[in-house]
Amino acid sequence: MYAFTISGRLIDLHQHRIYPATITIDNGIITTITETEDAPEQFILPGFVDAHVHIESSMLVPTAFARMAVVHGTIATVSDPHEIANVCGIPGVQYMIDNSRHTPFKCFFGAPSCVPATFFETAGAHIDATATEELLQNPDIWYLAEMMNYPGVLYKDAEVMAKLGAAKRIGKPIDGHAPGLMGETAAQYAAAGITTDHECFTLQEALDKIAAGMHILIREGSAAKNFEALHSLISTHPEHVMFCSDDKHPDDLVLHHINGHVRRALEKGHDLFNVLTAACVNPVQHYKLPVGQLRVGDAADFIVVNNTTDFAVLQNYIGGRLVYDKGKVLLPEVAVTPINNFDTNLKSIADFAVSAEEGKQQIRVIEAIEGQLVTNELILPALIQNGQIVSDVANDILKIAVVNRYTKDAPIATAFIKNFGLKKGALASTVAHDCHNIVAVGADDIAITAAVNALIESKGGIAVAEDASAVLSMPLPIAGLMSAEDGHTVAAQYAALDAKAKELGTSLKAPFMTLSFMALLVIPSLKLSDKGLFDGKTFRFTDVTL
């Protein structure tokens, strides 16, 4: 790697200064920084770090994700391979690590802590405490990923405690995931050694967790959006804040990444240095990442932007290598071989029927909430036709189903959901956190069956069915989660499916992303697994009818 120099106005996040400088880079390392009297009117600063992301949710493998992210000034991610681990186990984690080795983009993977997240659903793998400890000893694993089983932490489940203990012995940080925990329970959760949380959806919750010693990751993903609720922390608790996307769909990644957090924070009037510290410095320090911070002796990981208002990225350097230059991505496309775990048979319309029970005229309904992963529980009248409870399109109460993708002839779980808004047709996806069974929602059983069967035939993907014969789908051959195509192709395919879903009536901004979280049992209140309707507050199954 050759030596070179670059000049501009350096944004020094450690001395809180901006000054003209010339930087010398040799063999990927910053060797000198010389303050000058003048410099080109461009700004040089450390690259952005996504402090918590599931790369799989972009439907891209790490190398393809990198080609999209560098455009926005991202140089590194703290990546939880929890999604592929729930499908393929440790081989899935290794698949992500191996693919990431083909790019200079820095992916720092964690050891998934909850595979499966609960035993109230069917997963494709199980990673116990012994296997988790082995993963944590791997130098390619940087932390214990989000501990979603917060009841297990609070009640000191032996397996959960063993995983936390292993991370503490090995000296690797522990990520949290505890939506809604406040006060004493938040303190108890943090006392177990858990250092972060990206699930806060109110300011008071975040403040309680900060008081307990935790760092708060301000999330703005494709479905869960907590920036508005939490951004004041950038000014009040800058040392405790990082930015993350968590789950980012490909059409969203085309538009922005962590740079979107930065722009919004500056528009809100937050101090430039506080904002950039959250975006560039705090994740590196917290997770002890080998990411350069624009100091002599650091790796040459930095970006060049046009100004400090809109932060248009002109160039992106990782390890001294120019990976993005004024509109051109300089990272190669990488061919991939799929890995998967899929074994179920085609379904019939009758498989999705919900029989009405005598004397039971009401149903528990999941209320999806725009921009949130949490749901509400509603008790509403059932629409009964010919002895069956059916979707009540007029009142926006649609049938939702979860199909076990790992077992032939397993029974299908069905329930009802509000706020998807479909007037006809159905949506289905194998991106269904966390076990990634098939989740579908629709106005009628014919369309639901068509959408589900399209995904069974392709062994994973997302689909929109207008009726039995009009089905649009995108296969995701890598674990039913990721495409082998490049990011822009996947983004275009996804955008077409999203547009079709909205044509059928949904008003949700990201209907597929919202759908993907309706089987996530560890986030309350009401969710659906392949084993039945689940109450996230009591942590047990509940009846659909009453």
C-alpha 502/C-alpha 504 separation (Å) is: 5
pLDDT of residue 1: 61
Secondary structure in 3-state letters for 126-193: CECHHHHHHHHCCCCEEEEEEECCHHHHHCCCHHHHHHHHHHHHHCCCEEECCCCCCHHHHHHHHHCC
φ and ψ of 113, to 5 deg: -95, -15
pLDDT of residue 528: 98
Number of separate helices (H) and strands (E) present in the chain: 17, 29
Q: Of 272, 290, 308, at which residue does a domain stop?
A: 290
C-alpha 168/C-alpha 29 separation (Å) is: 32
Supply the pTM of this predicted model: 0.94
- Specify if 440 maps to a domain: yes
Do both 381 and 285 map to the same domain?
no
pLDDT of residue 493: 97
- Specify if 32 maps to a domain: no
- Specify if 304 maps to a domain: no
Structure tokens at 192: 């177990």
Range of the domain at 440: 349-541
Do both 370 and 250 map to the same domain?
no
- Specify if 476 maps to a domain: yes
Run of H or E including 34? strand 29-35
Do both 142 and 257 map to the same domain?
yes
- State the total domains in the chain: 2
Do both 281 and 360 map to the same domain?
no
- Specify if 530 maps to a domain: yes
Do both 179 and 285 map to the same domain?
yes
- Rounded alpha-carbon distances, angstroms, from residue 440 to 70, 370, 446: 33, 18, 12
- Specify if 380 maps to a domain: yes
Do both 282 and 381 map to the same domain?
no
Q: CATH no. for residue 102?
A: 3.20.20.140
Q: Of 290, 306, 323, at which residue does a domain stop?
A: 290
128 burial (CB, 10 Å; 0-12 / 13-18 / 19+) is exposed
C-alpha 357/C-alpha 343 separation (Å) is: 32
Report the sign of the C-alpha dihedral through residues 212, 221, 126, 484, in that order.
Answer: negative
Do both 273 and 417 map to the same domain?
no
- Specify if 40 maps to a domain: no
Do both 279 and 355 map to the same domain?
no
pLDDT tens-place values along the chain, 546 residues long: 679 999 999 999 999 999 999 999 999 999 999 999 999 999 999 999 999 999 999 999 999 999 999 999 999 999 999 999 999 999 999 999 999 999 999 999 999 999 998 889 999 999 999 999 999 999 999 999 999 999 899 999 999 999 999 999 999 999 999 999 999 999 999 999 999 999 999 999 999 999 999 999 999 988 789 999 999 999 999 999 999 999 998 999 999 999 999 999 999 999 999 999 999 999 999 999 999 999 999 999 999 999 998 899 999 999 999 999 999 999 999 999 999 999 999 999 999 999 999 889 999 999 999 988 889 999 999 999 999 999 999 999 999 999 999 999 999 999 999 999 999 999 999 999 989 999 999 999 999 999 999 999 999 999 999 999 999 999 999 999 999 999 999 999 999 999 999 999 999 998 998 999 999 998 889 999 999 999 998 989 999 999
- Specify if 21 maps to a domain: no
pLDDT of residue 367: 98
Do both 231 and 378 map to the same domain?
no
Do both 373 and 475 map to the same domain?
yes
Do both 266 and 366 map to the same domain?
no
Do both 180 and 105 map to the same domain?
yes
pLDDT of residue 163: 98
The SS3 of residue 490 is helix
Q: Of 271, 290, 309, at which residue does a domain stop?
A: 290
